[in-house]
């Protein structure tokens, strides 16, 4: 065969390693955890730099944060050159909708000379970490990312994973990357300034992973629902650690870059993503996930997959935690707007529609279609339940 007709077959693997650290008062100069991490990056020949980007809403409650970060780098990690400006960006999902913020971060990377041997450090909630991670991943084809999540949702779910994204063309996470961080630092003390909605919202992701993977964890949440609702720090510390552990285990043992269309950790998310958009993000992600979980559990019960008693236990836990399980936007336009989320979710997955439903607490099963009439009946059930609980 002529050389011009011969095929070269390429195949290689890339190994990723990163740790999720749990600590308190991260930037206290007496806390060595960040210093010890940076000791791994002391080889000669590199002037490593660090660009810090902070969630504006978080910074308003921690006005001393900038000074503490600068002091920490001066005394504990002087071999890493901190960029002279600590950048703040608005928090919440709105930051992922604004292309100007992405441009601003890329411009800062260029202006401060943050190269592939340097670090971008994101401090904030999940949306800010998504934005920062996306900017880091596409700048110079990938700058080392350190995540410091400041919400329950980010510490137990999005902040410990491998995905980064921004919203585009009216669709959630339309632009994004699979780019793992080099480290995640969860600081429990940062949760103290959360409002009750954000404290509660992150618990929805823990319920999600418990329902599809671990009945014992769900039973623990069931037992500690009142303590969690009352902002018990010890209970929350356990919930975050266990939930983060289950997410990282799933990523390591499954399909981390989502080449297939199976996404079990998106249980409850097809409706949640659509509801966020339908409400203009007035319903926050964790709140929407709680509604999405409830909707899919009602659906599973209606088609005979999920036992009625399991459904009632799930609804009871969500209610005890203070979640609203119905929003009028679910019913808008005879539920057509909501059901459009199924097609959008299929496009986001790639390939055929794959939805996780429950057969029982702790055991999920994948289905590839949902019945529109049963979806509508499930929405009506949640609306009726809201009236009953009012």
pLDDT digits (tens, 9 = 90+) for 266-312: 899 999 989 998 999 899 999 999 999 999 999 999 999 999 999 99
Q: Is the pLDDT of residue 32 over 90?
A: yes
Global pTM reads: 0.90
Query: Among residues of the chain, what percentage have pLDDT more than 90?
Result: 78
**Helix intervals (H) in 306-371:** 308-320, 336-349
Q: Does the structure show a pLDDT above 70 at 201? A: yes
**Antiparallel, parallel or unpaired: β 49-55 and 81-82:** parallel
Q: Quick one: 211 and 132 in the same domain?
A: no
Judgement on whether residues 240 and 186 belong to the same structural domain of the protein? no
Q: Which residues contact 196 (CB under 8 A, 6 or more apart)?
A: 231, 322
Q: Is residue 256 part of a domain?
A: no
* Overall average pLDDT of the 299-327 stretch: 97
Residues 106 and 117 in one domain: yes
Give me the chain's average pLDDT, please: 92
- Pair 72, 36: CB distance under 8 Å: no
HSE, side-chain direction, 13 A CA sphere, residue 71: 11
What's the number of domains the chain is made of?
A: 2
Digit-coded pLDDT (tens) for 77-90: 989 999 999 999 99
Query: 114: how many CB neighbours lie within 10 A of its CB?
Result: 22
Question: pLDDT grade, residue 260 (50/70/90)?
Answer: low
- CATH code (residue 220): 1.20.1090.10
Tell whether the model's pLDDT for residue 388 goes beyond 70: no
Confidence of residue 343 (pLDDT cuts 50, 70, 90): confident
Q: What percent of the chain has pLDDT over 70?
A: 96
In a domain, 298, yes or no: yes
Distance, C-alpha 186 to centroid of its chain: 13
Residue 103 lies in a domain: yes
Which H or E element spans position 178? strand 171-178
Give the per-residue pLDDT at 15.
86
pLDDT band at 261, cuts 50/70/90?
very low
- Predicted confidence (pLDDT) per residue in 121-163, tens digit: 999 999 999 999 999 999 999 999 999 999 999 999 889 989 9
Over 50: is that where the pLDDT of 353 sits? yes
Task: Give one DSSP letter per residue of 246-311, joined into a string.
Answer: HHHHHHHHS-TT--SS--GGGTTHHHHHHHHHHTTT-S-HHHHHHHHHHHHHHHHHHTTSS-HHHH
Res 177 pLDDT > 60: yes
Q: Are residues 189 and 206 in the same domain?
A: no
Judge if 86 and 221 occupy the same domain. Answer: no
DSSP of 47-90:
--EEEEEEEHHHHHH-TTHHHHHHHHHHHT-TTSEE-S--EEE-
Answer with the one of 152, 168, 193 that is the final residue of a domain. 193
User: Are 88 and 119 within 8 A, CB to CB?
Assistant: no
- Closest to 348 measured CA to CA, from 141, 159, 96, 176: 176
Range of the structural domain that residue 179 is part of: 19-193
Q: Could you tell me if 181 and 230 lie in one domain?
A: no
pLDDT band at 387 (very low <50, low <70, confident <90, very high): low
**Are 222 and 135 found together in one domain?**
no
pLDDT class of 257 with cuts at 50, 70, 90: low
Chain length of the chain: 390
- Nearest Cα to Cα of residue 370 among 381, 355, 380: 355
Q: Check whether 389 has a pLDDT greater than 80.
A: no
In this structure, the answer to whether residues 53 and 125 fall within a common structural domain is yes
- Calculate the alpha carbon distances from 171 to 97, 118, 164, 175, 317 in Å: 9, 31, 15, 9, 31
Do 208 and 169 share a structural domain?
no
The CATH number covering residue 146 comes to 3.40.50.1970
Q: Is residue 50 domain-shared with residue 187, that is, in the same domain?
A: yes
Average pLDDT over residues 327-342: 92
CB 166 within 8 A of CB 134: yes
pLDDT exceeds cutoff 60 at 38: yes
My answer on whether 302 and 183 are in the same domain is no
Judge whether 5 lies within some domain: no
Domain shared by 54 and 151, yes or no: yes
Q: Is 13 among the domain residues? A: no
Residue 258: exposed, middle, or buried by beta-carbon count in 10 A (0-12, 13-18, 19+)? middle
């Amino acid at each position: 065969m002529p050389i011009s007709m011969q095929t070269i077959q390429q195949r290689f693997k890339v190994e990723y390693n990163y740790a999720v650290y749990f600590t308190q008062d991260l930037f206290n100069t007496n806390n060595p955890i960040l210093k010890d991490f940076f000791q791994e990056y002391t080889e000669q020949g590199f002037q490593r730099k660090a660009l810090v980007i902070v969630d504006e809403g978080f910074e308003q409650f921690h006005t001393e944060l900038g000074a503490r970060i600068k002091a920490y780098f001066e005394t504990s990690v002087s071999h890493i050159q901190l960029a002279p400006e600590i950048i703040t960006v608005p928090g919440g999902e709105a930051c992922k909708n604004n292309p100007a913020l992405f441009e601003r971060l890329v411009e800062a990377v260029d202006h401060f000379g943050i190269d592939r041997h340097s670090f971008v450090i994101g401090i904030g909630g999940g949306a800010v970490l998504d934005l920062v991670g996306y900017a880091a991943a596409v700048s110079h084809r990938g700058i080392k990312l350190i995540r410091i999540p400041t919400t329950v949702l980010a510490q137990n779910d999005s902040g410990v994973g491998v995905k980064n994204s921004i919203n585009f063309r009216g669709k959630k996470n339309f632009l994004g990357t699979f780019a793992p961080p080099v480290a995640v630092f969860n600081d429990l003390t940062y949760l103290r300034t959360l409002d009750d909605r954000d404290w509660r919202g992150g618990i929805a992701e823990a319920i999600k992973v418990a329902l599809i993977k671990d009945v014992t964890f769900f039973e623990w949440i069931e037992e500690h629902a009142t303590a969690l609702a009352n902002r018990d720090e010890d209970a929350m510390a356990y919930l975050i650690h266990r939930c983060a552990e289950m997410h990282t285990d799933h990523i390591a043992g499954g399909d981390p870059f989502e080449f297939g269309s199976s996404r079990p950790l998106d249980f409850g998310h097809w409706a949640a993503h659509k509801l966020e958009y339908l409400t203009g993000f007035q319903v926050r992600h964790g709140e929407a996930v709680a509604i999405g979980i409830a909707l899919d559990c009602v659906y599973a019960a209606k088609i005979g997959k999920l036992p009625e008693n399991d459904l009632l236990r799930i609804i009871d836990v969500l209610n005890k935690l203070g979640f609203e399980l119905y929003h009028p936007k679910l019913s808008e336009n005879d539920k057509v707007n909501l059901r459009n989320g199924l097609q959008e979710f299929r496009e986001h997955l790639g390939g055929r529609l794959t939805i996780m439903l429950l057969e029982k607490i702790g055991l999920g099963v994948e289905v590839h279609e949902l019945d529109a009439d049963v979806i509508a009946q499930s929405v009506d059930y949640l609306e009726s339940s809201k009236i009953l609980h009012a």
